[in-house]
A and B are shown apart, each in its own frame.
Chain A
Amino acid sequence: MSTLQIKKLYTLSSENRKFCFTLPLRNKIRIGKRDYVVSLKSDEKYGTYILWKNRKYPVEIIRSRQNSYEILFNDISYTFTVETPFSMKRMKVLNATKKKVEQESVKAPMPGKLIDVCVREGAVVQRGEPVVILEAMKMQNEIQSPVSGTVTRILVKPNANVMKDDLLVEIKVD
């Protein structure tokens, strides 16, 4: 990719909010009629942070895959995809032809021990119905089905220790 061809970048949040930045990327952001300096800093005491309007905000890059970034900013995580004007166009075309999701997987939201599997393969579940019970840090957590559908595969057994994001159950969406 050459810098010369690209004039701006679109940064899209997972909740579909769009931020547009012109290139070359400046360390100033315009709010209303004023420019505010944003700077990325790091030191021994605070670690990495962003300084904005005389206030420090802790930041961390949690994950980066191709053009997708998960940023932890002031204890809240955001996932963005950064698109060039070309990839943005391509994405729009793709989205228009994209089919509905058919398979949904339930993943472990945290590391822990699996106490119980509440469903069987082939069972019909409603959205919000508990599918497994996971114990982590003194608490039992019901992991609920994100969709209504049919359980196609159970990948774990009770008493198993699971890691964060381990695949637990697969559900075919109705």
Chain B
Amino acid sequence: MKIKKILIANRGEIAIRIIRTAKQMKIRTVVVRAAVEPNAMYLEYADEIYDYSEELPEIPVFLDIEKIIEIALNTGADAIHPGYGFLAENAYFANKCLENKLIFIGPDPDSIYKMGNKTIARKIALANGIPVASGSEGNISNIEEAITLADKIGYPVIIKAASGGGGRGMRIVRKAEDMEKFFIIASKEAEKAFKDPSVFIERYIENPKHIEFQILGDKFGNVIHLGERECSIQRKHQKLLEEAPSSALNSDLRQKMGATAVKIAKAVDYYSAGTVEFLLDSDNNFYFMEMNTRIQVEHPVTELVTGIDLIQQQIQIANGNTLNIKQEDINLKGWAIECRINAEDVQAGFAPDPGKIENLSMPAGPDIRVDTGITVGSSIISSYDSMIAKLIVKGKDRKDAIKNCKMALDKVWIKGTKTTLPFFRMLVRNQKFLEGTFTTAFIEKDIEKYYLNSEYEEMLAAWLATKMFVEENLEENSIQVDFENGKEMSPWLMNKRMNQF
């Protein structure tokens, strides 16, 4: 093994996930301590910590290319794992690693560049006979051009950022009058998020399923796929729940889509782990959407049904090893579901709800995997994403996995912020979800209430409110407290109240 020490240019659960595999492979790990979370959980797992907490940089250190390279060189790391987000899909950074004789654990900078630019990726797909939704050939430079093209391909259309990803810089336009407004918003958002205002237009596929294929390739041109993930449960193009496999695919369609995924990966000489995203319409037509040139948040569901450690594969491939798995070795076994437990307010349309985690307890068991970088005392801060934990549950089939998921969800205990748990509790009981017929429109169109509560829960909450009222207003020697800060003082306050009762 050439790789002896990896600098992890990331934080949170993915840093811990990478460290877990590195330890098994007897590779040392280095992580960076940042000022915004100097006591974060991931720091406890690494062999070495590079302390950067004295600095209060304008951009997070995980986005600072020069600094990350400098840390790698200073700590004697021979490889960098970027995780997801931050610099994971930055071709310039990947190239900088190579220039400094550091192994970038990911694909070649050229593959990142080609797939990262959606307009180029689209052209490559078209040149290789891969189905894409009809749309513009290149970028669209002005509103008039956008309107002319949209009239030709027909509404609704979707405006996408050429350098986009993660749902930013995307707008659906249903009628010509809205084009100007959304074109400006999408372009501005793209400029801000990706420093590139260019956008392109595609026909918007109504109510599709979002199906993606995990692929693995080595530096010798071998590429295989590891089956699909079903990621249709999303809001604002952000995934909330993922499954592997998908109930929408039979083995024929799986083979066809898998072969297409392999084909596009080969077209850009792809190596490392990657994901090819498709939209699948109700007639089982599929369209190439984009390729993500990194490890993904939802990679565990694929790991649970294939038994393959994707991080290990990434490291071995980066090391220059030949892929040790063949397509015929891939057998999907069982069913896996991942719930993204985020600090979000489901009742306020999934608005982020940052805060400090006061209590946390996650279920455990043979069918349960929890990937988290958060512990009691951790803060969910607005500089980073709102993830608290990924709850990944397995079953022998979909029904069994949902049953296990339902039980596991009831055992999750989190206090300090609002979470997406009430949404999942509703979801695992929803008829359309149970049938597996949901599409990406599910959250917006198919559900009336984003969360689950029983009438008893509201009644019990009413009882608590009444109890507070009685104690404050009707009881002798009631304590007078300033309830403006009720949340901070609650444990102490509640104790005092309970003793009175």
Contact = CB atoms under 8 A, between A and B. Distances in A.
Interface of A: 1, 3, 6, 9, 11, 13, 17, 19, 21, 23-25, 27, 29, 31, 38, 40-42, 45-48, 50, 52, 56-65, 67, 69, 71-78, 80, 82, 109-112, 115-116, 118, 133, 135-141
A59 B415 CA distance: 8
A29 B495 CA distance: 22
B487 A62 contact: yes
A125 to B, nearest CB: 13
A29 B461 CA distance: 12
B419 A75 contact: yes
B203 interface: no
B251 interface: no
Contact of A58 (B347, B382, B415, B484): B415
A135 B470 CA distance: 41
A52 B463 CA distance: 12
Interface residues of B, number: 65
Contacts of A23: 470, 474
Contacts of B460: 29, 38, 50, 52, 57, 73
Contacts of A29: 459-460, 463
Interface string B158-172: 000000001110000
A25 B498 contact: no
- A-B pairs with lowest CB-CB distance, top 9: A64-B483, A73-B461, A82-B469, A137-B352, A69-B465, A19-B462, A80-B465, A110-B351, A47-B359
B358 interface: yes
B236 interface: yes
B57 interface: no
Nearest to B459: A19
Given A9-B469, A75-B418, A139 B168 contact: yes
Contact of A76 (B167, B181, B451, B468): B451
30 contacts: A3-B475, A9-B470, A11-B466, A19-B466, A21-B462, A23-B474, A29-B459, A29-B460, A38-B460, A40-B498, A42-B498, A46-B359, A52-B460, A58-B413, A60-B415, A61-B490, A62-B487, A63-B486, A69-B469, A72-B418, A78-B458, A80-B461, A80-B465, A80-B466, A110-B345, A111-B382, A115-B189, A118-B181, A138-B166, A139-B167
Given A57-B460, A69-B469, 19 more contacts: A6-B474, A27-B501, A29-B459, A29-B463, A40-B497, A45-B359, A48-B490, A58-B413, A58-B415, A60-B415, A62-B487, A63-B484, A69-B468, A73-B461, A77-B347, A109-B351, A111-B354, A138-B385, A139-B352
Contacts of B358: 47
Contacts of B483: 61, 63-65
B55 interface: no
Interface string B352-365: 11100011010000
B380 to A, nearest CB: 9
A78 B461 contact: yes
B238 interface: yes
A166 B456 CA distance: 34
Nearest to A71: B461
Contact of A64 (B413, B468, B498): B468
B102 to A, nearest CB: 27
Interface of B: 166-168, 181, 185, 188-189, 192, 236, 238, 345-349, 351-354, 358-359, 361, 382, 384-386, 413-415, 418-419, 421-422, 451, 453, 456-470, 472-475, 483-484, 486-487, 490-491, 494-495, 497-498, 501
Contact of A75 (B359, B421, B466, B475): B421
Contacts of A75: 346, 414, 418-419, 421-422, 451
A74 B418 CA distance: 9
A25 to B, nearest CB: 5
A57 B456 CA distance: 11
B264 to A, nearest CB: 27
A163 B99 CA distance: 44
A63, A133, A140 — which one has the most chain B CB atoms within 10 A of its CB?
A140
B238, B464, B468, B497 — which one has the most chain A CB atoms within 10 A of its CB?
B464
A29 B385 CA distance: 41
B334 to A, nearest CB: 29
Contacts of A60: 415, 487, 490
Contacts of A1: 473-474
B352 A136 contact: yes
B348 to A, nearest CB: 5
Given A13-B462, A29-B463, A76-B347, A3 B413 contact: no
Contacts of A58: 359, 413-415
A116 B347 contact: no
A41 B418 contact: no
Nearest to B166: A138
Contacts of B414: 58, 75
B361 A73 contact: no
Given A19-B462, A80-B461, A61 B491 contact: no
Nearest to B421: A75
B457 A76 contact: yes
Nearest to A64: B483
A116 B414 CA distance: 34
A135 B465 CA distance: 34
Contacts of A82: 465-466, 469
